[in-house]
Chains A and B, each alone.
Chain A
Amino acid sequence: MTLCDLALCQKAWKESRVRFAIMVLALAWICAAIVLLQRIASARSDESMSYAQFIWKAVYRGAVRDLFTILAMLLGLGGLLQEQAKGTAGFTLALPVSRKRMVAARAVVGLAEVAFLSFIPAILLPLLSPLVNESYPLGAALTFGVLWTAGGSILFAATFLLSAVLAGEYTPWIVCTASLVAYMLLVSLWPLSLLPSLNFLQVMNGVGMPWFREAKYALVGPAPILPIAVMGLAAAFFIWAAGAVTESRDFS
């Protein structure tokens, strides 16, 4: 990594650090609230739930995952097209670095932020659970963290690509959200529904996956390498496509 790459990464970080800090706080707050208010929520629930089941439903398949999905897509916003709207694209493009390197630096920082967000539940759940006289296995939490990183990378990369194509501050995020809803509807239809791995949100929470024990609401065995690799490849393709689009377009 050269000094220029480092400077570009710092730029990407400075661009996103405020919204990223808000995201970290939002995710941490909701995770903490779920753990600390678990007894009240369980008491109000009609069905009797174990702690692991409650956490899985609230965090890994519930509000926290939905929030994470939204945040991962928001992290993909930005790039030269958005800079053009703000009037800074000329300054950036006059720098003696290729557009691909500019895209790569932003992708690296964005993916690191996605990974950090993914591991917030993995850090907080085992840490806070003893406060309510419960425990949550660190290994399972970390595996979920890896799955969230992979799934979040796809969402990030999809908005990242759309940001290279569509102008407008939030237009790529809106289009990405609509595309995600459409994709989820599509994979729920026969015959695609026969391939549950196509639903990467389910891959992230484990439903119907061989690495998930539904009776215990726990992950079993090692981290599923293949689906993680496939999700990683899909994200890499989107980022590569964003680089190709950015490389070829005019910034007038």
Chain B
Amino acid sequence: MKGAVIQVSHLTKIYGQVEAVRDVSFEVGPSRITGFLGRNGAGKSTTIKILLGMVRPTSGTGSILGHPVTDPRENLLLRRRVAYVGEDKGLYAYMTVAELIRFTRSFYGDWRPEVERRLLRGFQLPANRRVKALSKGMRTKLALLLALARNPDLLILDEPTEGLDPVSIEELLQTLAGRAAEGTAVFFSSHQLNEVERIADDILLIDQGRLLLDISLEDLRENYRRVTLGFDGQPREEDFRLPGVARIRAAGRQLSLLTSANAEALVDIGRGLGAVSVDVAAVSLREVFLEMVQEPK
């Protein structure tokens, strides 16, 4: 991809016996909103931490805005252009909200005081209260303020809506969509698939360290189908292994196929093998997610 904001190639991170990230490659384009999906412990946060230089990869390469992530000097330069909200929203408990804003502001030349004031009011954050006295939701809002009060080229948000009330989630999603429209690339992880489905342009799905899906949401909606076939006898899964078939599940005399291509061909094969019922349906992101990450029973 020309002018990719994030480029990751064959990234692997091994902790002892555990492969947290396995041979992951992807690209994120400018002004795109990319949802980074996966279960807990799938490797999302490790990948993000590698990108920000907090963790060194065992192998593979990555770059953000053209800066190689594994070179400490280059990583320092890229962090000037990236705003990040971490998974745990850990902020200095001993500082007040105002002190933390002042502290963070001193590191960035792209700070926007008018946005800071607007978010401070909008999030109803008490400037003189210590961070340790804030609720989890308020801490999340403060972490978001510190990222959104800047004008970065890339926003990396790890579970940004965790702990937020529905109104704040709505405001945040609108803000992220607005930022992307202004030219900022947004890369965010979330468990809330409906939120991702609402604003994301692209989807990356990771499970057990492996990237399972790298697709635009538009392509997913257009191409992914569930083909359900009913038979009189026991169907053979092998007959349906065509290109594009992502998952095959057999339950008694019924076969359920998730496919990104060849839905018509699957129907034809099913009919040819004597299928008594045939159903082809569009699938939601939630269905694709669950199909891809759930182990077959």
Q: Using known A-B contacts A7-B107, A86-B93, determine if residue A96 contacts B79 with beta carbons closer than 8 Å.
A: yes
Cβ of B55 < 8 Å from any Cβ of A?
A: yes
Cβ of A186 < 8 Å from any Cβ of B?
A: no
Chain B residues in 8 Å Cβ range of A11: 92, 103
- A90-106 interface code vs B (CB 8 A; 1 in, 0 out): 11011111110000000
Q: Using known A-B contacts A7-B103, A86-B93, determine if residue A94 contacts B79 with beta carbons closer than 8 Å.
A: yes
Give min CB distance, B82 to chain A, whole Å. Answer: 8
* Complex CA–CA separation, A94 to B49 (angstroms): 9
Cβ of A44 < 8 Å from any Cβ of B?
A: no
Q: Using known A-B contacts A4-B107, A96-B107, determine if residue A252 contacts B90 with beta carbons closer than 8 Å.
A: no
Q: Are A247 and B72 closer than 8 Å at their CB atoms? A: yes
Chain B residues in 8 Å Cβ range of A6: 106
Q: Are A250 and B107 closer than 8 Å at their CB atoms? A: no
- The chain A residue sitting closest to B95, CB to CB, is A14
Q: Are B92 and A14 closer than 8 Å at their CB atoms? A: yes
Give min CB distance, A53 to chain B, whole Å. Answer: 43
Cβ of A88 < 8 Å from any Cβ of B?
A: yes
- A1-22 interface code vs B (CB 8 A; 1 in, 0 out): 0011011001100110010000
Q: Are A14 and B99 closer than 8 Å at their CB atoms? A: yes
Give min CB distance, A112 to chain B, whole Å. Answer: 18
* Complex CA–CA separation, A7 to B87 (angstroms): 24
Q: Using known A-B contacts A96-B76, A250-B56, A251-B49, determine if residue A91 contacts B90 with beta carbons closer than 8 Å.
A: yes
Chain B residues in 8 Å Cβ range of A63: none
Chain B residues in 8 Å Cβ range of A98: 72-73, 76
Which of A3, A4, A93, A96 is the one whose CB lies under 8 Å from B54?
A93
Cβ of A89 < 8 Å from any Cβ of B?
A: yes
Q: Are B108 and A87 closer than 8 Å at their CB atoms? A: no
Q: Are A88 and B52 closer than 8 Å at their CB atoms? A: no
Interface size of A by CB at 8 A reads 27
Which of B55, B93, B99 is the one whose CB lies under 8 Å from A251?
B55
- B64-103 interface code vs A (CB 8 A; 1 in, 0 out): 0000000011001101101010111111111100010001
Q: Using known A-B contacts A3-B106, A98-B72, determine if residue A15 contacts B88 with beta carbons closer than 8 Å.
A: no
Please tell me the size bucket of the interface on B.
20 to 34
- The chain A residue sitting closest to B57, CB to CB, is A250
Q: Are B108 and A90 closer than 8 Å at their CB atoms? A: no
* Complex CA–CA separation, A90 to B104 (angstroms): 13
- B7-44 interface code vs A (CB 8 A; 1 in, 0 out): 00000000100000000000000000000000000000
Give min CB distance, A12 to chain B, whole Å. Answer: 11
- The chain B residue sitting closest to A88, CB to CB, is B90
Chain A residues in 8 Å Cβ range of B88: 87, 90
Q: Are B107 and A87 closer than 8 Å at their CB atoms? A: no
* Complex CA–CA separation, A83 to B92 (angstroms): 9
Chain A residues in 8 Å Cβ range of B54: 89-90, 93-94, 250-252
Give min CB distance, A16 to chain B, whole Å. Answer: 10
Chain A residues in 8 Å Cβ range of B108: 96
Cβ of B140 < 8 Å from any Cβ of A?
A: no
Q: Using a CB-CB cutoff of 8 Å, which residues 99-125 of chain B contact chain A?
A: 99, 103-104, 106-108
Give min CB distance, B191 to chain A, whole Å. Answer: 18
Cβ of B63 < 8 Å from any Cβ of A?
A: no
Chain A residues in 8 Å Cβ range of B15: 252
Q: Are B52 and A94 closer than 8 Å at their CB atoms? A: yes
Which of B46, B49, B86, B94 is the one whose CB lies under 8 Å from A91?
B86
Q: Are B106 and A7 closer than 8 Å at their CB atoms? A: yes
Give min CB distance, A249 to chain B, whole Å. Answer: 9
Give min CB distance, A91 to chain B, whole Å. Answer: 6
Q: Using a CB-CB cutoff of 8 Å, which residues 40-80 of chain A contact chain B?
A: none
Chain A residues in 8 Å Cβ range of B163: none
Chain A residues in 8 Å Cβ range of B90: 83, 86-91
- The chain B residue sitting closest to A14, CB to CB, is B94
Q: Can you list 21 contacts pairing A with B, beta carbon distance less than 8 Å?
A: A4-B107, A7-B103, A10-B103, A14-B99, A18-B94, A86-B93, A88-B92, A90-B87, A90-B88, A91-B90, A93-B54, A94-B52, A94-B54, A94-B84, A94-B86, A97-B107, A98-B76, A99-B72, A250-B54, A252-B49, A252-B54
A90-B49, A94-B84, A96-B76 known, 14 other contacts, Cβ within 8 Å: A14-B92, A14-B94, A86-B93, A87-B90, A88-B92, A90-B88, A91-B90, A94-B52, A94-B54, A94-B79, A96-B77, A247-B72, A250-B54, A252-B46
Interface residues, chain A, with chain B CB atoms under 8 Å away: 3-4, 6-7, 10-11, 14-15, 18, 83, 86-91, 93-99, 247, 250-252
